[in-house]
Structure 1
Amino acid sequence: MKHQAIIYVLIMIGNFSFAQTLGGTDQNIAPIYYNLGVMQANKDYRATFFKDIEGTPYIYKDFVPSEIEGIQSKMNLRYNAYDDVVEVEKAPGEIYTVSKDPAYGVIYMNYDRKKLRLITIDDKSNEKVLIYAFELMNNKTTALLRHDKIDFKEGKVAKTSFELNSKPRFTSINSTYLLEQKDKKIIEFPTSKSKLLALYPAHVNEIKSYLKENKIDLATESDMIRTTQFLSTL
């Protein structure tokens, strides 16, 4: 009996330690970790996948101590802008992703505490999808977000002696800016004056005056932030 009691205590200690790692002592929520090994994204996801590819799927390569809102413990995280996942380093060489669950929908990445949010948008097929976006501005009623995407290009084997082989590579970052409106619906930020005015038919003259007086370029991030701040006052 004593032997069984000792085993039981050890199991309970192990379970408690594992729960602490997962943030289970903070709240009763689903596991944070999601195994990279089960992911498919035009490839088999494995630890050696990136070694023969030029470039990087990361905007910031290093894991940094970061916080998931609602979880007390800090974790080593980094954002993978190719797969649109947040990777978590549970231990050296042991990497998972944070589950795409609204319970973990706000992450403070310690690249100057950048706020990364898991949001729902309509894709081109009008299907609801979850994506990550950095929050650039938020005054409680209106927000501007940026979704960063790093693309992947397959390598090519030369067909003739006049061509060169090319390695597979990650390409440049493409950013999509998103406007979260007062009703919390998230749409692509209108980068043309006509599209912006169409969103606010009751405030056409005010918006025209603001754009003209402030010489706003709706394709510039700093001006998008300023314009979002203005729109929140309408």
Structure 2
Amino acid sequence: MKKVIGLLSFLLVIGSLNAQTSGQVAQYTPGVGGETDGLYLNAMGSIADKLDKLDYTDDTIEGSPYQSNTFAPGQLFYGDENVGEIFYRYNAYNEEIEIKQKNTEIEPIRGLGKDKKIRLVANGKSMSFKTFVDKRGNTKNGYMTLVSDGEYKLYKHLKVTFKEAKKAENSLVKGSPARFSQSTVYYLESPDGKRLDEVQLNNKKLLELVDKSKQEDLKQYLKENKIKVNDVNDLNKVVNFLNG
């Protein structure tokens, strides 16, 4: 019963969004495809009202807001239920996953609903919408990819920033084009699942994110193995130790 109520709540939310953006009421009708097809279709909300954000065709702009500019296949899940295959690309600048039911030029592009029960699995990696806390203590929302699972979970987040073009002040100083810059930031989820904190690549800062009952053991592990955390390989070693 709880699953049915949750599913209906999800569909009502997505249906409402569709009605606002397309002018038509989206309806869930279990027909030939059954419950899965209904969920699949209603998870694909229109992004027609966001087309102004999607126009990155200016050839003078360097870089890209997308993880990949092309659509790739992935499996869509709602909770533990496999909804089916979609084609997607992740606009990290807008925190939007753009999806198509078919990977053709004429297929409309829609936005995936930002429901935390939705997961997108591609190449063995799971991506979902999360609330997280950055190193400055700011609470934000965005898409995270699970890197390492267990009691402690390690996620990565693609961060994209945009810098406006800068005109040359004079003939001696060159201008710079507009550009998107990408960087990967890692986050550690506590065992209770209540916090998802940015990991700073520093042993002392990392220890502060770990439960006090494990801090001394981790400190000793880092010392004995001469690990100075400075990349994802070191982070994986730490998470494997914590989950061991």
TM-score (norm 2): 0.72
**Who is 2:73 aligned against?**
65
Change in Cα spacing, 1:124 to 1:60, as seen in structure 2 (3 Å) is same
Supply the RMSD in Å over aligned alpha carbons.
3.3
Residue identity matched to 1:197: L
* 1:97 to 2:111 alignment: yes
- TM-aligned CA distance change 1:18 to 1:57, over 3 Å: farther
Question: Identical aligned pairs, as a percentage?
Answer: 27
Q: Residues 45 and 112 of structure 2 are in contact (CA less than 8 Å); yes or no, is this contact kept in structure 1? A: yes
Look up the match of 1:187: 197
Aligned to 1:8: none
Distance, in Å, in 1 between the alignment partners of 2:153 and 2:160 is 23
Paired residues, number: 210
Pick the aligned partner of 1:36 from 47, 61, 77.
47
Q: Compare 159-168 and 60-69 and name the one that shifted more.
A: 159-168
Judging changes above 3 Å, is the alpha-carbon distance between structure 1 residues 227 and 175 closer, same or farther for their aligned structure 2 residues? same
Indicate conservation of the 8 Å contact 2:28/2:38, yes or no.
Answer: no
Residue 206 of structure 1 and its aligned partner are, at CA, apart by 1.5
What's 1:3 paired with?
none
Aligned mates of 2:66, 2:32 — CA distance in 1: 28
230 and 29 in structure 1: CA distance in 2 versus 1, 3 angstrom threshold: same
SS at match of 2:58: helix
TM-score by length of 1: 0.74
Q: 2:62 aligns with which of 27, 51, 54?
A: 54
Q: 1:196 to 1:167 in 2, by over 3 A?
A: closer
Distance 2:137 2:159 in 1: 20
Instruction: Say yes or no: does 1:107 pair with 2:107.
Output: no
Q: Which moved more, 1:142-151 or 1:202-211?
A: 202-211
Gaps of 5+ in 2: 1-26
Give a deviation string over 1:167-212, Cα, whole Å, max 9, x none: 32212x2121110111112112253222333443333432122112
Change (3 A) 1:215 1:26: farther
Q: Secondary structure at the match of 1:76?
A: strand
Contact kept, 8 Å, 1:84 with 1:149, in 2: the verdict is no
Q: 1:130, 1:101 → 2: CA distance? A: 11
1: CA distance, partners of 2:30 / 2:179? 37
Hey, what's the Cα distance between the residues in 2 that align with 1:125 and 1:191?
A: 14
The answer for the alignment partner of 1:121 in structure 2 is: 132
CA change 1:83–1:161 in 2 (3 A) is same
Structure 1 spans left out of the alignment, 5+ residues: 1-14
8 Å Cα contact 2:131/2:142 also seen in 1? yes
Over alpha carbons, which structure has the higher Rg? 1
CA–CA distance in structure 2, aligned partners of residues 59 and 19 of structure 1: 36
Structure-2 change in CA distance of 1:126 and 1:207 (3 Å)? closer
